[in-house]
């Protein structure tokens, strides 16, 4: 990204002096988010250390890339970011500008041809009005059991005074994995939960920049994972691990990079807008997080590239997300991030809560009031509870717990990690409606019992699972990549067959493909599919994308002039203003087109079509990497500003082939070192032409090998007799394939020691035991990274309970989950129904009648 227009530099430089003396802006004008256009002037190599923002940091030290350049980032990692535009976002800190100055800066930036979109970062609202009132304080030694008041835990039967039931978590608890064993849930809010609350676990992860403890997150995580201990509340997944990430764009990306597929993330905040007159909201207009393009792209990266289950509050704005004002922004058929939107129901009526957002994008709902959970206050930081947590604030974490339970069951039953969109589909298909039977206003409330039955039925035979990652949109003729993330629960080798009709190539094999989009005169909606097979079972993955038309400014007369007093609502209507034609994107009145437009989409009232009043010259641009290894392939893509019968002529001396007439060409680099020039000439039907050149450095000598880098992630403690996962979160700077060799202490066992993620089982110990787990990561060329992680294997609490545990009886029918028996000097815990099943012969962590026995001391 070595070029940003002079206008951008001048605008930023001009803003610097005024920022020094200005009063602070209010929360709605604290940061500007820039999205640069994806063209030849803004492309960069994946390991390019140049940061466009550094050009201006001498004068404006408050601009930064959302994703800073990195020498250690692999090509695959960069392509994953690129598929979701995350390499093109930049943030300008405007907190030292007045609102008027900040708006003036935004207006100037919108005129810059290198910028696709400019908008202020919305104000994040922590939904603190939903916190509820603390219940009467109890002594630490006499906390009552509140589970009878947790109506959201139970089945779909409505019990007075309520008109709707729960999510059936109590039934899920009878199934291995249903309590969230071997699962991780991360809560992302403004404040964090009380880490010292007696009913809540300590965090396994914390990503924060000064977050403080608060009641809201304490209430949220209480519904998810308060412990099953005989007092207080019990969460939907009481055995899951909990993590915390302070909400923020960059921190969400940091979370994504360090997470594991199958982790659940609950986003417990919403945006607050001053006004949204197009939908009739005059003040305090709350919207879901995906109303921001940048946040939506980050969430899509999390679900598609990282396999995370993301649930977000549909928001407390009482706004119809299907309103024409949004011009399809929330239409899942147009774009689907893979996240789950959680709406709220009023349990005392069984109908939508008056404040809850609604519309077809709201997938599921749960209790938006009368929620019993943990809470925090300065006067009672460790034993607080509330019976009045509410809003989409309470519904959202309930759904997060449901997702963790269902994913936990999938893992415990050998089905692996369920793709986010597939897990959402199961919840929607098996859920039940509001009391009036409406299934479309705010979706359905999940029923874990039915969801688990469908999950296990669909997973019969253990077919492959997978997800397909593609860009939301690509430009005509542009090059891009697609990626399949698939796995076989039975570790069978997988094959891939791509179908990309109209693209180049139209078919392919392997989990990754490089494609060139066809040239389209109009925006075109299409799809790409991949058939994934393990030789016996197969799945077909399909994703939609939009091919954007060639940038052809309309030539000729300007249409009718814009009128400031007129209300524009017809999306087909066009106006002209200051030498440009614009088309209505959504309702507006008094919104000057040159200050309120986007090139694509509908985030602003106007969509700019192009110049008017005269002919537009041809402009040529090249998109290609800046370096290539000798003898390796290089893909170059040409883009023009006009689309009238274009002809392309490439000249690439030294490359093979040295010429081409296609919009996108694949060239083979010469075998010698040197700097080479590639030239593109574009000619239109009028005979007008333009040329562009691109310099490529060819590297013939073998680069110095760089070893893998990364960290070893996993739990600090493992309970005796239980399982835990450890992951070598590594990458190779040179893109070399990596192999893994694990070394285990004697207190741990595992079936395979050569995988990136290792599942270990702790042997029974009678006292806490310190040990170290290690992994050597090699790149096959002599580069090796050794990682060590100290752990503690905790003695099971049952180990001193032998004298008080009844002996196993071969004639007794055992049907109570977690019932304990003594057999051959070991304490066994019951998993599911059995009779005459000796525990030593029928025990395992999951899938057997008894859990692994714990030796008596």
Q: Are residues 392 and 330 in the same domain?
A: yes
Mean pLDDT of the region 794-805: 66
Mean pLDDT of the region 826-840: 85
How many Å apart are CA 251 and CA 110, to the nearest integer?
Answer: 27
pLDDT at 845: 65
Query: Which segments of 236-298 are extended strands (E)?
Result: 241-246, 264-267, 270-273, 285-287
Q: Are residues 442 and 502 in the same domain?
A: no
Residues whose CB falls within 8 Å of the CB of residue 10, separated by 6 or more in sequence, listed in order: none
The SS3 assignment for 333 reads coil
**Of the residues 442, 458, 474, which one is the last residue of a structural domain?**
458
Which residue has 């709220």 as its token pair?
344
Residue 16 pLDDT > 80: no
Pick the residue with more confidence: 155 or 839?
155
Do the beta carbons of residue 748 and residue 762 sit within 8 Å?
yes
Candidates 828, 770, 774, 761; CA nearest to 799 is 828
Percent of the chain exceeding pLDDT 70 equals 89
Q: Is residue 811 classed exposed, middle or buried when 0-12, 13-18 and 19+ CB atoms within 10 A define those classes?
A: exposed
Residue 166 lies in a domain: no
Q: Which range, 42-51, 67-76, 651-660, 681-690, has the best average confidence (pLDDT)?
A: 651-660
The SS3 assignment for 220 reads helix
H/E stretch holding 750 reads none
Mean pLDDT of the region 813-841: 84
For 504-526, what is each residue's pLDDT tens digit?
899 999 999 999 888 877 788 89
**In angstroms, what CA-CA distances link 487 with 411, 416, 419, 510?**
13, 8, 10, 13
Pairing mode, if any, of strands 689-699 and 784-794? Answer: unpaired
Secondary structure (H, E, C), 801-827: CHHHCCECCCCCEECCCCCEEEECCEE
* Structural domain total, the chain: 7
Mean pLDDT of the region 683-689: 74
Do the beta carbons of residue 826 and residue 846 sit within 8 Å?
no
Q: Is residue 501 classed exposed, middle or buried when 0-12, 13-18 and 19+ CB atoms within 10 A define those classes?
A: exposed
- Within 10 angstroms of residue 284's Cβ, the number of other Cβ atoms is 12
How many Å apart are CA 473 and CA 83, to the nearest integer?
Answer: 9
Q: Are residues 420 and 485 in the same domain?
A: no
Candidates 418, 404, 428; CA nearest to 456 is 418
DSSP string across 652-712: -TTSBSSEE-SSEEEEE--SS-EEEEEEEEEE-TTS-EEEEEEEEEEE-SPPPP---EEEE
Do the beta carbons of residue 313 and residue 393 sit within 8 Å?
yes
Residue 273 pLDDT > 70: yes
pLDDT at 137: 72
How does DSSP classify residue 121?
P
For 213-251, what is each residue's pLDDT tens digit?
999 999 999 999 999 999 999 999 999 999 999 999 999
For 298-347, what is each residue's pLDDT tens digit?
999 999 999 999 999 999 999 999 999 999 999 998 899 999 999 999 99
pTM of the shown model: 0.69
Residue 558 lies in a domain: no
pLDDT at 723: 84
What is the pLDDT confidence band of residue 28, given thresholds at 50, 70 and 90? low
Please give the mean pLDDT across all residues of the chain.
86
| Rg of the chain, C-alpha, whole Å | 29
How does DSSP classify residue 502?
T
Percent of the chain exceeding pLDDT 90 equals 49
Candidates 20, 24, 33; CA nearest to 61 is 20
Q: Are residues 218 and 243 in the same domain?
A: yes
**In angstroms, what CA-CA distances link 699 with 628, 705, 734, 759?**
6, 14, 14, 41
Q: Are residues 504 and 576 in the same domain?
A: no
Q: Are residues 284 and 405 in the same domain?
A: yes
Q: Sheet holding 757-762: strands in order across?
A: 709-714, 723-731, 757-762, 748-749
Residue 175 lies in a domain: no
For 343-385, what is each residue's pLDDT tens digit?
999 999 999 999 999 999 999 999 999 999 999 999 999 999 9
Residue 512 lies in a domain: yes
Mean pLDDT of the region 630-647: 70
For 380-406, what is each residue's pLDDT tens digit?
999 999 999 999 999 999 999 999 999
Residue 486 in tokens = 């698939």
Pick the residue with more confidence: 46 or 72?
72
**CATH number for position 332:** 3.40.50.200
Residues whose CB falls within 8 Å of the CB of residue 257, separated by 6 or more in sequence, listed in order: none
How many Å apart are CA 391 and CA 129, to the nearest integer?
Answer: 8
Which residue has 């990682």 as its token pair?
787
Residues whose CB falls within 8 Å of the CB of residue 43, separated by 6 or more in sequence, listed in order: 1, 623, 624
Pairing mode, if any, of strands 205-207 and 241-246? Answer: parallel
CA angle 508, 513, 519 (to 5 degrees): 90
User: Which residue range forms the structural domain that includes residue 781?
Assistant: 709-795
Secondary structure (H, E, C), 507-564: EEECCEEEEECCCCCCCEEEEEEEEEECCCCEEEEEEEEEEECCCCCCCCCCCCECCC
The SS3 assignment for 566 reads coil
Residue 155 lies in a domain: no
For 407-434, what is each residue's pLDDT tens digit?
999 999 999 999 999 999 999 999 999 9
pLDDT at 708: 87
Q: Are residues 406 and 301 in the same domain?
A: yes
Residue 328 lies in a domain: yes
Q: Are residues 357 and 445 in the same domain?
A: yes
pLDDT at 24: 34
Do the beta carbons of residue 427 and residue 474 sit within 8 Å?
no
Mean pLDDT of the region 786-802: 75
**Of the residues 633, 665, 699, which one is the last residue of a structural domain?**
699
Q: Are residues 18 and 46 in the same domain?
A: yes
Q: What are phi and psi of 655, to 5 degrees?
A: -90, 165
How many Å apart are CA 723 and CA 845, to the nearest integer?
Answer: 7
**CATH number for position 522:** 2.60.40.10
How many Å apart are CA 51 and CA 43, to the nearest integer?
Answer: 11
**Of the residues 517, 548, 579, which one is the last residue of a structural domain?**
548
Residue 639 in tokens = 């883009």
How many Å apart are CA 9 and CA 56, to the nearest integer?
Answer: 7
Residue 593 lies in a domain: yes
How many Å apart are CA 467 and CA 461, to the nearest integer?
Answer: 19
Mean pLDDT of the region 798-808: 70
Pick the residue with more confidence: 165 or 582?
165
H/E stretch holding 305 reads none
Pick the residue with more confidence: 856 or 649?
649
Q: Is residue 825 classed exposed, middle or buried when 0-12, 13-18 and 19+ CB atoms within 10 A define those classes?
A: exposed
Exposure string of 158-183, with b = 16+ CB inside 10 Å and e = fewer, is: beeebbbbbbbbbbbbbbbbbbbbbb
Dihedral sign for Cα 260, 261, 264, 265, please: positive
pLDDT at 443: 97
pLDDT at 709: 84
What is the pLDDT confidence band of residue 12, given thresholds at 50, 70 and 90? low
Do the beta carbons of residue 300 and residue 338 sit within 8 Å?
yes
Do the beta carbons of residue 837 and residue 828 sit within 8 Å?
no
Distance from chain centroid for Cα 495: 26
Residue 316 lies in a domain: yes
How many Å apart are CA 347 and CA 336, to the nearest integer?
Answer: 29
Q: Are residues 487 and 588 in the same domain?
A: no
How many Å apart are CA 127 and CA 835, to the nearest integer?
Answer: 51
Q: Are residues 809 and 667 in the same domain?
A: no
Q: Which range, 137-151, 342-356, 597-611, 677-691, has the best average confidence (pLDDT)?
A: 342-356
Residue 349 in tokens = 């009526």
Mean pLDDT of the region 841-853: 78
Q: Are residues 368 and 512 in the same domain?
A: no
Residue 651 pLDDT > 80: yes
For 437-449, what is each residue's pLDDT tens digit?
999 999 999 999 9
What is the pLDDT confidence band of residue 42, given thresholds at 50, 70 and 90? very low
Largest Cα–Cα distance in the chain?
Answer: 96
Residue 104 pLDDT > 50: yes
């Amino acid at each position: 990204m070595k070029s940003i227009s002079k206008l951008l530099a001048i605008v930023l430089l001009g803003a610097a002096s005024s920022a020094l003396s200005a009063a602070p802006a209010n929360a709605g004008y604290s940061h500007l988010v820039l999205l640069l256009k994806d063209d030849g002037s803004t492309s960069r190599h994946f390991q390019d250390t140049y940061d466009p923002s550094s050009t201006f940091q001498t004068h404006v030290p408050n601009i930064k890339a959302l994703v800073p350049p990195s020498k250690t980032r692999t090509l695959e990692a960069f392509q994953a970011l690129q598929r979701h535009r995350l390499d093109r976002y930049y943030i300008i800190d405007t907190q030292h500008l007045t609102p008027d100055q900040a708006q003036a800066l935004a207006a100037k930036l919108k005129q810059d041809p290198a910028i696709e979109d400019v908008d202020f970062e919305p104000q994040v609202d922590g939904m603190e009005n939903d916190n509820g009132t603390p219940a009467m304080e109890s002594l630490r030694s006499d906390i009552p059991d509140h589970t009878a008041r947790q109506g959201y835990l139970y089945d779909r039967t409505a019990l007075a005074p309520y008109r709707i039931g729960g999510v059936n978590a109590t039934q899920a608890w009878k199934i291995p994995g249903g309590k969230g064993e071997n699962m991780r849930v991360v809560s992302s809010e403004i404040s964090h939960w009380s880490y010292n609350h007696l009913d809540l676990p300590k965090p396994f992860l914390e990503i924060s920049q000064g977050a403080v403890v608060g009641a809201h997150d304490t209430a949220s995580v209480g519904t998810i994972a308060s412990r099953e201990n005989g007092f207080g509340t019990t969460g939907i997944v009481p055995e899951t691990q909990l993590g915390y990430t302070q909400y923020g764009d960059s921190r969400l990306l940091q979370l994504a990079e360090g997470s594991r597929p199958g982790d659940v993330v609950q986003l417990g905040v919403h945006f607050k807008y001053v006004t949204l007159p197009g939908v009739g909201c005059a003040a305090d207009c709350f919207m879901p997080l995906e109303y921001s393009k940048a946040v939506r792209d980050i969430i899509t990266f999390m679900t598609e590239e990282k396999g995370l289950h993301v649930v977000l509050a549909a928001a407390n704005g009482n706004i119809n997300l299907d309103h024409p004002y949004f011009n399809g922004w929330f239409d899942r058929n147009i774009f689907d991030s893979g996240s789950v939107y959680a709406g709220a129901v009023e349990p005392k009526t069984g109908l939508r809560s008056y404040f809850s957002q609604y519309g077809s994008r709201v997938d599921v709902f749960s209790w938006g009031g009368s929620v019993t959970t943990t809470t925090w206050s300065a006067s009672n930081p460790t034993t607080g509870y509330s019976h009045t947590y509410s809003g989409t604030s309470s519904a959202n974490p309930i759904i997060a717990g449901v997702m963790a339970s269902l994913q936990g069951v999938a893992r415990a039953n050998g089905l692996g990690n369920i793709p986010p969109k597939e897990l959402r589909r199961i919840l929607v298909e098996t859920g039940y409606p509001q009391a009036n039977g409406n299934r479309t206003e705010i979706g359905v409330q999940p029923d874990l019992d039915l969801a688990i039955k469908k999950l296990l039925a669909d997973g019969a035979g253990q077919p492959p699972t997978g997800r397909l990652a593609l860009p939301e949109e690509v430009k005509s003729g542009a090059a891009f990549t697609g990626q399949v993330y698939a796995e076989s629960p039975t570790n069978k080798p997988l094959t891939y067959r791509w179908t990309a009709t109209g693209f180049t190539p139209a078919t392919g094999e392997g989990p990754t493909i490089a494609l060139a989009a066809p040239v389209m005169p109009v925006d075109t909606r299409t799809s790409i599919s991949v058939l994934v097979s393990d030789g016996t079972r197969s799945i077909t993955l399909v994703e939609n994308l939009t091919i954007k038309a060639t940038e052809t400014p309309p030539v000729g007369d300007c249409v009718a002039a814009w009128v400031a007093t007129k209300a524009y609502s017809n999306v087909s209507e066009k106006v002209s203003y200051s030498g440009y034609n614009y088309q209505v994107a959504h309702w507006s009145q008094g919104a000057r087109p040159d200050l309120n437009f986007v090139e694509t989409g509908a985030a602003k009232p106007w969509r700019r079509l192009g110049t008017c009043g005269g002919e537009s010259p041809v402009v040529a641009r090249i998109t290609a990497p800046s370096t290539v290894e000798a003898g390796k392939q290089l893909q170059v893509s040409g883009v023009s500003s006009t689309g009238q019968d274009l002809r392309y002529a490439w000249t690439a001396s030294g490359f093979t082939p040295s010429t081409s007439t296609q919009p996108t060409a694949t060239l083979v680099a010469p075998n010698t070192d040197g700097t080479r020039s590639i030239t593109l000439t574009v000619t239109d039907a009028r005979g007008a032409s333009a040329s562009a050149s691109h310099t490529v450095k060819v590297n013939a000598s073998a680069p110095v090998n760089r070893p893998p880098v990364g960290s070893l992630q996993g739990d600090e403690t493992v309970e005796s007799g239980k399982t835990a996962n450890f992951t070598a979160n590594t990458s190779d700077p040179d893109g070399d394939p990596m192999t893994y060799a694990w070394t285990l202490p004697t207190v741990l066992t595992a079936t395979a020691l050569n995988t990136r993620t290792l599942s270990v089982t702790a042997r029974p110990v009678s006292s806490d035991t310190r040990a170290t787990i290690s992994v050597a990561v090699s790149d096959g060329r002599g580069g090796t990274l050794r990682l060590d992680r100290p752990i503690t294997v905790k003695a099971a609490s049952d180990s001193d309970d032998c004298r008080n545990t009844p002996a196993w009886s071969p004639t007794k029918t055992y049907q109570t989950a977690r019932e304990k028996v003594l057999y051959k000097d070991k304490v066994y815990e019951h998993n599911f129904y059995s009779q005459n099943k000796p525990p030593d012969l029928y025990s395992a962590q999951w899938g057997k009648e008894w859990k692994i026995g714990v030796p008596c001391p």
